[in-house]
Structure 1
Amino acid sequence: MPEHTLAPAPHPVPKRSAVRSLLRLWPYVRPVRWFLAGSVCAALLASCAALLVPLVLRRIVDGPVAHHDTAALWPPAGLLLLLGLTEAGLFGVRRWLVARPLSRVERTLRGDLYARLQRLPVSFHDRWASGQLLSRATSDLFTLRLFLAFALVFLIVNSATFLTGVAIMFSLDWRLGLILVLPAAPLVVLCSFFEARYSSVARRAQDQIGDLATVMEESVLGIRILKAFGRHRTMARRFRDQARELRSTELRKARLLADLWAVIVGLPELALGVALCVGCVLVAHGHLTAGTLVAFLSTALALRWPVESLGWLLAYSNEAATASDRFFEVMDARPAEEQDTPRTDLRPEGAEPDGIRFTGVGFRYPDAPPDTPDLLRGVDLHIRPGETMALVGATGSGKTTLTALLPRLYDATAGTITLDGTDIRDLPRQRLRELVAVAFEEPTLFSASVRENVLMGAPEAGPQALERALDTAQADFTRRLPEGVDTQVGEQGLSLSGGQRQRLALARAVVGSPGFLVLDDPLSALDVHTEALVENALRQVLAGTTALVVAHRPSTVLLADRVALLADGRISAVGTHQELLESCPAYRELMSGDPADRVREGSTAR
């Protein structure tokens, strides 16, 4: 792990309109715009078919019913049946038009998000909780797909249906139409107020879902620790507390939506009741026909869904806008710089290999407190071609960080690092990471077979290279697994012991016979017997590569040709193991575990 304090997951809440947030999805929606347009057209035609029903009812009431002509009733009744079937069929077509295209949009969004996460620097992942990223890749993208498939379509369709219905009502009787339109003004004000309040609560809820996912993931991955220390109840309480906070936020959302819905439903119903009373008076005085009143009220009832759905559609649109913001927070993060025209040669033509050279290298983590010094300050170190250099230092001195700079998991904030004379910033990242192989102290394995995990270090390597790497790492246990190297190791490789995982990580680092090798205390989880076997095999690998090995034990130090001591952010001493034991008190203290003054006193006494 990097030797710094991780910052909590950021929860930025950008101030922007919901419309602007949703418009950012246009590049993804554009390829399927005609399917969406077809869906809108089908839904509009279905709504128009529904609005024609009141006009047919008017003709029935004022015609066959008023004149008691049963024979004349059948044609308009058949027309009503046809309109109903047409409406049902068109809504089926609407769903068929958007189902497959929008699933592709969701797939593209998820693929782009995953690709961006792979390109973002390690410093980004240090700052973000995995649950927050997981919720963006799952629930947020699902919300966006449902918005595009349903809420967006019906925001357009219901608005057009409402305007068309109002026009029909005014054409039937302007007085009754005016009564039903009067609640529109307070509804607009209420919806504006609701949008501002609801968007904030929706953002809070989606962030809390991400936090809850983080707790769940940590509990599952750390279940052995929780059970071993009897802390499962503590984690359960933490989960319940966060679930309770999420429940409170969701109830707040529900209350806001309930308040909006009460007004959205109540005002139109009140206006409809007034219109019914006025209409009955007009019919009684002969100023309006019964068929016209029936058609007017039927049209008003047909508009109930477009009006009542307004609250739900606004709420879902705000959630979709929040999901869009959360998606683009990751997409807007600056990826690791990729040079357009990098140099691909390792050294100038005719020049001799120069190995690995650190010159004035400095580094500080972006989240480090401003009043603290840089972790690395002017590191100068030269590892000659074919040489193995052991890097030692006290815990927290920056050894792991220095090794992470070589494959550019982090970028140095000062100075230069060169491979055979070429600045690593002049190399394509892919090429750099083909040249530099890494084995970390904490081995990470994936839910895949042994073969796939090891060959991740060199996908093009053949069976012989795989066998050599496993032999070097003394990973002969893989041959005793149920399916040999094709055995699935399970999530995080937890079906294996710590030493077995570390040996597979070492095999992954050496399988491609890299020109440059970085090993971060690669033998810490091995027993003494296995460690000796791995060291003997590893010496053959190190003889043909330029290597930097982080070491904490003398046995690992002895693998190296020379040793570098990192202290106070700088390389304070370089030499062979024996030279440093004789000339460097700090090194003697580190290797012996005794204070330097005691070592000096013992030497004087002897």
Structure 2
Amino acid sequence: MQIRDLPYPDPGIPDTRSGPRFLLWLGRGQLGGQLKALCWGLVHFAGLAGLPVGAGLAIQAVIDRSGPRLAVAGGLIALTGAAITVGDTMLHRAAITNWITAAARVQQLLARKTAELGSALTRRVAAGEVVAVSTGDVEKIGWFVEALSRFLAAVIAIAFTCVGLVIYLPELGLLIACGIPVLALSVLPLLPRATQRADIQREKAGKATELASDTVAGLRVLRGIGGEELFLRRYRRASQEVREAAVRSARMWALISAVQVALPGALMISVVWYGAHLALDGRIGVGALVTVYSAVTLLLFPLRNFEEIAMAYSFSRPSAKRAARVLALRRTAYDDERGGLDDARPTGEMYDPASGLRVIAGQLTAVVCGDPDAAGRLAERLGGHATEAEPGPSVRLGGVPLDELPLDAARASVLVQDKDPMLLSGTLAELLDVPSSGAVDADKALTAAQCGDVLDALVQASVDGSGDAMRSRITERGRSLSGGQRQRLALARSLVTDPEVLVLDEPTSAVDSHTEARIARGVKELRTGRTTVVLASSPLLLDHADSVAFVHGGKVAAVGTHRELMAGDPAYREVVTRETDDERPGGVEARPADERQIITPTPARTREEIEETA
């Protein structure tokens, strides 16, 4: 996998039984990249190992006054220098590729899990932990994957170098072969404490991040009750705890680094002292001593990978554990006792037990709520996204609870468009390229959503001069468009999807009345035979609905056509027309909700009949 090939067509199914198993699964998924980095690492370290040999041969050739051997030594040094340069460059390239592709795989898995769980994710995992996993933990996991191949190359290079020194010069080779493993394993007794301190640091950092997220989210409320300073003090205290934990962790890692410097220095002194005595006694030549000394010096480079892999694993193991815990979450909607449901889309009447709302299949139903927040919560509930603050039975579609449906079937059945929909950057064709039934094409959806002037604006703003609105680019969040234009494009995208039930929350709040009337007709015509729910209070939309449900106090208080409710329910008329007590005929007060008449839907009367009645 190359960086240009990202994202993965399928990131796979991770092993989430533990952090180390998750890291092992990631490594198995990157065998090709790991082998490539390992090979380039061996080339690099082979060059390092060959350099002292060439240096020793060159010095001995000068001592012996041998020109041919000096030329051979020079060629060997040049060759090893090229191997070091090329190997190091390509090793870095391959290792960074492994880092980025591993991080991208984890991010894709987290994004897929977030989409699967939806709002339930933050109810089951702390917000700070979600932020930590999706940012810092992904980087640390990628670091371990990147360092693994270089560590393996270093181990192989050190082993071959030690064996070569034992064969080349047994007197010094045995000393080096015994000393190198001691250097490599010297930090192992310190790792548990270093890992423990690093875990404490990450735990405190996660709590501080969670506290900061909660504070920012509730800042408006905190200002209203004067609680800003209280939460600021809590965050300052949490930040100081993170700082102290970070300092303690850094001290331990500094000690490990000091050991990694002191012990190789001691080995170097021992080799020089013993080798100098051997050279003075005439048991070895000067060139051989230079070769061994250079080899020991260059062995310090691969030895650094032992410290790095220890740090990478210590930091990535808890990160992988956290990521595995998030990825192991399952949507609780799957009911094992029922044996599950098939993926077929349920059809039929939609019923919300919490409010008593019934939506007739195949009709355009409007819902009027006096409280906009209550309307938003009702829209979420109709989409199967009931919040923890509003527990209760799930909405039923065709008698089947939405939270018992497989996720794909639930999303294919019900689509909710928020009152503030999001437009991502890209071309208009990419915006409308969404999973759909295929029954509604882009042209029909754009026409129904009255996007003609939007298309003209996109053509005029196009930089490629193609004159094709579908190829025109939309900036991030649709900032180059007006609020009404963004709203209509989002509506067109929802219409293209063509779900069994489409729930629209204030879909025309940002357009003028003439456009709103045309949109109401277009949506009704395009959605003929499909169930559509519109939460709005605009008479232009309500007049085109097959039936209107008036929700008061969280319960359905009246049902009928728009004209019937206008004539028979003062509270409904107050919400729709926004009239005050003084503006009502005779100053009539609205009747209590429990005294209102539930009106049975009847065929809509013509506008002439309503005008005559009025």
TM-score band w.r.t. shorter chain? 0.5 to 0.7
Residues 97-123 of structure 1: per-residue CA shift (max 9 Å, x gap):
778788766665554444444333243
Unaligned runs of 5+ in 2: 1-16, 218-235, 461-466, 591-614
Is residue 343–residue 408 contact of structure 2 (8 Å, CA) maintained in 1? no
Q: Separation in 1 of the partners of 2:58 and 2:456?
A: 84
Moved more, 442-451 or 584-593: 584-593
Provide the C-alpha distance between the structure 2 equivalents of 1:394 and 1:130, rounded to a whole number of angstroms: 32
Match of 1:363 in 2: none
1:470 aligned onto 2:446: yes
Q: How far is 1:477 from its partner? A: 0.9
Paired residue secondary structure (1:496): coil
Letter matched to residue 342 of structure 1: D
Q: Between the two proteins, what is the percent identity of the paired residues?
A: 23
Provide the C-alpha distance between the structure 2 equivalents of 1:518 and 1:284, rounded to a whole number of angstroms: 92
Q: Deviations along 1:1-43, whole A, 9 cap, x unmatched?
A: xxxxxxxxxxxxxxxxxx9635413334325426634643664
Question: Is 1:119 aligned to residue 116 of structure 2?
Answer: yes
Alignment partners' CA distance in 1, 2:186 and 2:244: 27
SS of match in other structure, 1:566: strand
Q: Distance in 2 between matches of 1:101 and 1:425?
A: 39
- Asked if structure 2 preserves the Cα contact closer than 8 Å seen for 1:257 and 1:312, the reply is no
Residue identity matched to 2:511? L
- 1:238 aligned partner: none
Aligned positions of 1:359-374 closer than 5 A: 360=353
Q: Give the C-alpha shift of residue 518 in structure 1.
A: 1.8
1:356 counterpart = 2:354 = no
Contact 2:421 2:490 in 1 (8 A): yes
How well do the aligned residues superpose, as a CA RMSD in angstroms?
A: 5.4
**Deviation at residue 327 of structure 1 after TM alignment:** 4.7
Pick from 370, 374, 381 the counterpart of residue 398 of structure 1: 374
Cα displacement string for residues 86-105 of structure 1 (whole angstroms, at most 9, x for unaligned residues): 85466677678778788766
The residue aligned with 2:425 is 447
Distance in 2, matches of 1:176 and 1:108, equals 42
Q: Residues 38 and 499 from structure 1, CA distance in 2 versus in 1: closer, same or farther, beyond 3 angstroms? A: closer
The aligned amino acid for 1:118 is A
The answer as to 2:281 corresponding to 1:303 is: no
- For these two proteins, the number of residue pairs brought into alignment is 534
Contact 1:386–1:546 (CA<8 Å) still a contact in 2? yes
Could you tell me how far 1:519 is from its partner in structure 2? 1.9
Partner of 1:524: 509
Match of 1:155 in 2: 151
2:438 is aligned with what amino acid? E
The answer to whether the 8 Å contact 2:423/2:478 transfers is: yes
- Residue of structure 2 equivalent to 1:350: none
One-letter code aligned to 1:496? L
Equivalent position to 2:494, from 509, 522, 536: 509
SS of match in other structure, 1:304: helix
Aligned twin of 2:342: 342
The aligned amino acid for 1:24 is F
Relative to structure 1, the CA distance from residue 513 to residue 179 in structure 2 (aligned partners, 3 Å threshold; closer, same or farther) is closer
TM-score scaled by length of structure 2: 0.66
Quote the Cα distance in structure 2 between the aligned partners of 1:293 and 1:575.
101
Question: What amino acid does structure 1 have at the position aligned with 2:450?
Answer: Q
User: By how many angstroms is 1:473 displaced?
Assistant: 2.8
What are the residue-to-residue correspondences of 1:4-153 with 2, within 5 Å?
A: 21=19, 23-33=21-31, 36-37=34-35, 39-40=37-38, 43-44=41-42, 47=45, 50-51=48-49, 68=64, 70=66, 73-74=69-70, 77=73, 80-81=76-77, 84=80, 87-88=83-84, 108-124=105-121, 144-145=141-142, 147-149=144-146, 151-153=147-149
Helix, strand or coil at the partner of 1:549: strand
AA partner of residue 40 (structure 1): L
CA distance in 1, matches of 2:555, 2:395: 15
Deviation of 1:524 after TM superposition, in Å, equals 1.7
**Aligned letter for 1:355?**
E
The separation in 2 between residues aligned to 1:342 and 1:474, in whole angstroms, is 37
- Per-residue deviation, 1:152: 0.8
Distance 1:208 1:265, change over 3 A: farther
Higher alpha-carbon deviation: 407-416 or 523-532: 407-416
Question: 1:520 corresponds to which letter in structure 2?
Answer: D
| Displacement after TM superposition at 1:390 (Å) | 2.8
- C-alpha distance 125-59 of structure 1, shift in aligned 2 (>3 A): same
Q: Aligned residue for 1:564?
A: 549
**Aligned-partner Cα distance in 2 for 1:416–1:542:** 25
Query: Which residue matches 2:606?
Result: none
Partners of 1:285 and 1:521 lie apart in 2 by: 95
CA contact (8 A) 1:205 1:250 kept: no
SS in 2 for 1:415: coil
Is the partner of 2:419 in helix, strand or coil? coil
Task: Provide TM-score, normalisation by structure 1.
Answer: 0.67
1:303 aligns to what SS in structure 2?
helix
| Deviation string, structure 1 residues 318-371 (Cα, Å, up to 9, x no partner) | 455466456545533435857975163756xxxxxx53233x3xxxxxxxxxxx
